Amino acid sequence: MVISRQHHRMNERGVTYLMLMFAIVIIGIATTAVAKQWKVIVQRELEADLLAKGIEIQSALALYSATIKAGRVIPGEVYPQTLADLTRLPKPFLRKVYLDPMGHGEWEYLRAPTGGIMGVRSKSLAKPFRQHDFPLAVRHFEGRATYHDWVFQHPSPSSAPIVQQGTVPGSVAPSMPGSSIAPGGSAPVVQPTVNP
C-alpha cells in the first residue's frame, strides 16, 4: 500500500512535469509567432515612413531646383549641397532633415554630375512588402527588389509622360471622321463610308 502511494505520487509528478513542458513549448511557439508578426508590422510602418519622407525630399528637391534656376541664363537643374540647405529660411522647402527610416541613419546620396544632391536612397537591402500600386511620384518603384533600389530623385523617372502602347509621342495628327493617315504620308485619306 505504501509502495502504491509512492508510485501514484511519482506518476503525478511525471504528469505535472510533462504538462509543464508542454505549456512551455506552447508559450514558446506563440511568442515566436507574435514576434514574427510584430516584425512584419514594424517593417510595414517603416516602409510607409520611408515612402512619405522620400517623396517629401523628392518634392523639395524639385521645388528647390525650380526656384533657384528661375531667371538664370544657364539651363539645367540646380541642386542643394546638403539636405540642410532645403530647410533654410527665408523659404524652407523641407520641414526638417530626415534620417533614413529603414537604415536608421544617414541616407545614401545620389550626386548630380554638376554637383549637389539630386536624390536619396535607403542603405537597407531588405526586401520591400510593397511591390505595386505606388503613388504617382514614385510609380517607377514597381518590381524593385530592395529598399536600396527605391531612389527618390529629381527629375524623377516617374515624371516622364505616360505614352500609350502603340502610339509614338508627337506623331498624333488631328483626324476627321472617316479618314486615316496614308502609309508614308501625312495627309488624311478619306475612307468611303458604307451605309447599312
The answer to whether position 150 is within a domain reads yes
Q: What Rg do the C-alpha atoms of the chain give, in angstroms?
A: 31
Per residue in 51-85, pLDDT tens?
A: 999 999 999 999 998 888 777 777 778 899 999 99
Q: Is residue 17 part of a domain?
A: yes
Q: Residue 190 domain-assigned?
A: no
**Whole-number pLDDT of residue 9:** 67
- 123 contact partners, CB below 8 Å, separation of at least 6: 100, 102, 103, 105, 106, 107, 108, 148
Q: Cα-Cα-Cα-Cα dihedral of 65, 68, 71, 77, to 10°?
A: -30
Domain span at residue 75 reads 2-159
Secondary structure of 28-47 in HEC code, one letter for each residue: HHHHHHHHHHHHHHHHHHHH
Structural domain contains residue 167: no
Q: What is the pTM of this model?
A: 0.67
Query: E strands along the chain, which residues?
Result: 108-111, 117-121, 151-153, 179-181, 188-190
> For residue range 85-128, what is the model confidence (pLDDT) as tens digits?
999 888 899 999 999 999 889 999 999 988 899 999 999 999 99
How many domains is the chain built from?
Answer: 1
38 CB burial (10 A radius; 0-12, 13-18, 19+): exposed
Is the pLDDT at 147 greater than 80? The verdict is: yes
Pairing type for strands 188-190 and 151-153 reads unpaired
